[in-house]
Chain A
């Protein structure tokens, strides 16, 4: 024991004398300090603005992340503690002493453990100190308690240190190789990172086993907290209870403690405590070598008298220099290729490339064609880290190789130029990277082939890998070469290089977004099948040229400052630099000029031609707009009732111009003296009215203008506004390219037309950003029935229904589209013109302009209410889903016309647009649909979710739910459009795929809802009061309505919807003057638009009394179930049937907006079921809704076949936070 103490204290003394221990401590202190002190740093700070920054939840996550990045630190401390004796050869002395294994290993291990725990305890202190930072957001800091720091530290980091430390210790002690000790931390880190990437790409809903087997905790953390609400995040601890979180946390911790203990046992069992054994292997090798030498040395000695050496002509010409360059490069490559690490990297690259390539583009359970951009993204994404690691690693290795091998004496005295030597090092790394990139490309092609996709676009691989990615890697190589030249220690060099690499995204998140100073960065770009690299090319080209030229200057500096000869001092290198400067200075100057030129050109484009706005500046504009003009929000304004526009799109210039004529009518009961205009895109000029006005004020950036009418606009009176609109793309921007304008695939909407009055939708909505701008909390939407807001509809707040006519032109090779029926098409002045009109059909004031080169598919739908012209315009390469879209459109038209009302248009058209934006949007009879979401889907397995079919039906649903019935500008109204479209699409999908398969889709919907509420930044509203919460109006709304249809009957619910629609659709459409001066009969004063009260009433009217609670729960409350199958057994009865005894539990809670839950009593119908069949393809044998009034119930059910599965709410019709435990395997008795 005394000896143990001796080793233990020695280890501690050694560690605490070493600077690195304190550096680690400080590192974690700063990291955790910033996590609290800065809202732009760390996963919690930069995320949801309501989560406390020092909650146990936040500390747990910070600790887990420290564990991820800390692997290397743990490896460095534990791995080296044993190795030290072997590196310094003290083991020969040590192990001849009578010391016990326990004392030696235990002392070293315990010392390392305590040191590491100390180093990581910086996390606790840093967080604690962060809470006192005066500039921190103190609304997000909880009162300090020791336990909120200690509990996460003990249950995460201390255990990680124990487990990983013991593993690294064992590996270090048993291998005794410095190479392995240093690499194991890095290797585990990389492997884990890639595992996380691949796992999250699958969006698996499996959280139990994946959580338990997660050694580091990222997946575990996500699995456990996935559905935590704000209040839970701010109060809950990661409990070690076997009940909470299904015990996942407990089991995970126990498992890895066990692995740690096992490592300790194995090192204790296997570590040999004798010099002989410890050196046995190397002794064996030494003996073999000695023998070999004996043989070699015993060879006959030749006479040495005078064998005159041949006199060979030496020449030192350019050709020689080149030959030297080639020979050096070849030698260096040979060194790399004959080394294990290179092949290990290639093997890992291939393994991860295959793993991520297999999932290229998969989202949830949707299957897509692995088109090249998805495949490149997948395989390159997994390889990128390797490419950078190789750059940093080999830059150091190649620069230090001669020194490390002690060959520098000979090498440095060779008659070669410093530049030859340096260029060969660079070339060797470049060739290695080229090979790795080729491997990446090959993996991509192989994975495409294995997925049955044979449309190989080698050129696109080449462009992405060699023209876009490689230059960035090259910049990094040059930087690493420079750093390794300047610093005199390889590892310090690595630290600096990695630091630069990590620092860039951190700087970016702190608002330093300028490509010109973010080392080696290029602006964001997106490849699109429709548009290629399109307009991103110049910005990419010039930023790459800029950074490459700068790194080339660094490269020249590296040559000049190269280590050559015995001296390393600055003076010696200075002398060499002076000697080399005259020859290399011109090269440096040329590169400097290129850098200056490229940088200037970039600057001119991004900062002079275009206004440079970083995200903060953009938020400032939004905040100023709100501060200055919110006062006008409720100012009475006339409504838009007709639009006539002439638009000319110039795709090759990514621009458009045109003019618009907007008819405005005063539909209030009072005269209107002023007209206010908002112009967020700076697209409006030359505003004119058809009567005398004068400009009262105009804000900077033309964002808000006020015009006074000389004669106020009387009630019912109309006024016509005409103006020019347009957008000129000038040069390129530093990222933030407008996605609306592309060489092929222009798509912009009414955002570019003047908006009447104050536009609330431009307000900042992130509470964190609002606080930063000193804005008050975001204003809640008006209550239902609010008189001022009820007369406006929720979508375009400034309009009622409009009539619409437009002429749009584009270049002759493209087709231009806008809502409306094509009146005529002609060519003039080398341009192609299209005239569209909606005739007298009313539409929402929501239109778009699209222009692209399209392949067109048309068909006619013959329905009970007449024909509808269906059309899909798509990129010629994207033929995969056109049939699916048409089928969905037909099915939707069938269903919606039958249950809701006739379709108001005689055409329905889908247009593909580039994937710079990833949505589909329903304009009147016109649906722009992103190439990213519907055009490359494939349905192969019966379980693949046909998302294209669903989304198409959803957008078609909006033709009723939005384009026929639109709600008032009050809370809840968004669901009238979105939840009802979602429900409609679910029904259309269920008719094609059957109710059983819908379950799979609804599970993802449920997951989306629960995750959405977990990320809520304000407060979660009930469905009928939803404001801006997409997860409520999409995922929850769809699920609630679908389940309601299941409970009360699809027909009943549809009847309710039909009644609601027919009563309230086209509110305020027939009390106005339209473009053709058709006056309507009723008084031109707006009445209220409908809201969710009317919908709920309509549904209530069709709901039987015993199910009325469902309507209340679904619409007016946040209700969650915790249903669980406890046990299920079956017994064969004498008559060949099976008696199933099923014990289930049902609980119901009501949550408030922050997620605080209270139990509510049950009087609910919940389905119980018994199933049989293959796993995942079970068919129901028995299904019945039972009324639950108490928590536990046991059922005895007789079924005909042998049951395999039974449980409660098997189809997850109810919202259940733990949807996995509803079913249980039936055990036979």
Chain B
């Protein structure tokens, strides 16, 4: 099972270039897609989910031309959009049965078995007869994953599934995702970098429609080992000075003071201390490198 995305470009009618010659190969595992808002994550995922067409480029999934054989893709697709609403006054049970029929589960016994299992799995069994409209954000999101898993899809696309969830919900949700097994392609987009580190054997960072990095999270973190330096500064003036002098990749507020993280091959000295690199550093480094490239020239 492999998804090959080649030279994908998309410009929206309002002039926004959502995807710029994006090429990406996604294997048979959980694949994390990170990037800031507006990076083109959702555009990419909608394109793979057959909901929009690129201007150019191709996508193939095990020999299926995703852009043309949409129906074949849809049959093996489980899709959880970034935001979705529900019909008022329809229960989770009814809705899942309906969607199961839509996904080709015509035998009612089999359908019942699957739907019940999913309701159990997503911990919605007790509320299965309640109207979806009364669900909390977390419950709705679990319903979303339940519907995406209907029919054992071989391609699962989940777009920002943890946005708006409280930490407990988020953990539960990530557990659920990780239990999906490894014999399928799962694309998870998020801007929470930690999600990816916890879940995904492979990941990609995209920004402004371009691929910045692709690889295994641990490898990319390892590549930065010893190159990330941290310093705590108290005032904005100091911060400004540091920004001019070093390659600042991120700042965090710690107890009202700025903790500045800097990328450098060797110690920048001056009170900097070496810190363990994290996936977040990889992420911010790539983003800042991209914006540096774009700025001066």
Contacts and interface: CB of A to CB of B under 8 A. Distances in A.
A893 to B, nearest CB: 72
Contacts of A179: none
Name the residue among A297, A301, A338, A409 with the largest chain B CB count within 10 angstroms: A409
Nearest to A308: B181
Contact of A310 (B46, B50, B83, B110): B110
B87 A401 contact: yes
B152 A414 contact: no
Given A338-B89, A405-B87, A567-B52, A312 B149 contact: no
A335 B106 contact: no
A416 B46 contact: no
Contacts of A565: 46, 50-52
Given A315-B104, A566-B51, A409 B79 contact: yes
Given A299-B126, A304-B175, A328 B102 contact: yes
B46 A314 contact: no
Interface string A324-340: 10111011001100110
Contacts of B84: 406-407, 409-410
A314 B75 contact: yes
Interface stretch (A225-233, A288-296, A894-902): A288-296
A205 interface: no
A312 B53 contact: no
Given A312-B114, A406-B84, A565-B52, A296 B126 contact: yes
Contacts of A339: 88-89
Interface in A269-313: 289, 292-293, 296-297, 299, 301-302, 304-313
A414 B176 contact: no
Interface string B120-141: 1101001100100011101100
A30 to B, nearest CB: 34
Nearest to B89: A338
A307 B120 contact: yes
B117 A567 contact: no
A305 B179 contact: yes
Contact of A323 (B50, B80, B90, B101): B101
Interface in A446-485: none
Most buried by B among A297, A299, A327, A410: A410
Contact of A413 (B49, B98, B144): B49
Nearest to B151: A314
A572 interface: yes
Given A405-B86, A413-B49, A312 B175 contact: no
A310 B51 contact: no
A309 to B, nearest CB: 5
B136 A297 contact: yes
A773 interface: no
A615 interface: no
A614 B62 CA distance: 66
A306 B175 CA distance: 10
Given A293-B139, A410-B81, A415 B103 contact: yes
Nearest to A326: B101
A579 B130 CA distance: 40
Contact of A304 (B46, B121, B144): B121
A293 B103 contact: no
A1194 interface: no
A413 B50 contact: yes
Number of chain A interface residues as a range:
35 or more
Interface in A401-426: 401, 405-407, 409-410, 412-417
Contact of B105 (A289, A293, A312, A407): A312
A416 B100 CA distance: 12
A618 B165 CA distance: 75
B52 A320 contact: no
B110 A312 contact: yes
Contact of B123 (A301, A305, A312, A326): A301
A575 interface: yes
Contacts of A566: 46, 51-52
A567 B71 CA distance: 17
A316 interface: yes
B114 A289 contact: no
B53 A575 contact: yes
Contacts of B104: 314-316, 320, 415
A1095 B135 CA distance: 90
B296 interface: no
Nearest to B97: A327
Contacts of A313: 105, 107, 110
Interface string B60-102: 0000000010010011010111111111111000110111011
B113 interface: yes
Interface string A557-587: 0000000111101001001000100000000
B13 interface: yes
Contact of B79 (A316, A319, A410): A410
Contacts of A572: 52-53
Contacts of A309: 114, 117-118, 121, 149, 152
Contacts of B114: 309-310, 312
Contacts of B113: 310, 312
Nearest to A324: B102
A309 B121 CA distance: 8
B29 interface: no
Contacts of A410: 79-81, 84, 99, 144, 147
A296 B136 contact: yes
- Counting chain A CB atoms within 10 Å of each CB, the highest count among B71, B86, B106, B118 belongs to B106
A415 B74 contact: yes
A294 to B, nearest CB: 9
B252 interface: no
B111 interface: yes
Contacts of B94: 331, 334
Contacts of A297: 136, 138-139
A324 B71 CA distance: 14
Contacts of A579: 68
A289 B82 CA distance: 23
Contact of B85 (A299, A315, A316, A406): A406
Nearest to A302: B123
B147 A320 contact: no
A414 B71 CA distance: 8
B172 interface: yes
A297 B121 CA distance: 15
Nearest to A335: B87
B117 A310 contact: yes
Contact of A312 (B13, B80, B99, B111): B111
Interface string B40-54: 000000100111110
Interface string A393-406: 00000000100011
A409 B139 CA distance: 18
A327 B71 CA distance: 19
Given A313-B105, A327-B101, 20 more contacts: A293-B139, A296-B127, A296-B130, A299-B126, A304-B121, A310-B117, A312-B107, A319-B106, A324-B101, A334-B90, A339-B89, A409-B82, A410-B81, A413-B74, A413-B77, A415-B77, A416-B74, A564-B51, A565-B46, A579-B68
- 6 closest A-B pairs by beta carbon, nearest first, are A409-B81, A406-B85, A565-B51, A415-B74, A314-B104, A293-B136
23 contacts: A292-B134, A296-B127, A301-B172, A302-B121, A308-B181, A309-B114, A309-B117, A309-B121, A309-B149, A310-B113, A310-B117, A320-B106, A327-B97, A334-B90, A335-B90, A401-B87, A407-B87, A409-B46, A412-B51, A413-B50, A414-B99, A415-B102, A565-B46
Interface of A: 289, 292-293, 296-297, 299, 301-302, 304-316, 319-320, 323-324, 326-328, 330-331, 334-335, 338-339, 401, 405-407, 409-410, 412-417, 564-567, 569, 572, 575, 579
Interface of B: 13, 46, 49-53, 68, 71, 74-75, 77, 79-90, 94-95, 97-99, 101-107, 110-111, 113-114, 117-118, 120-121, 123, 126-127, 130, 134-136, 138-139, 144, 147, 149, 151-152, 172, 175-176, 179, 181
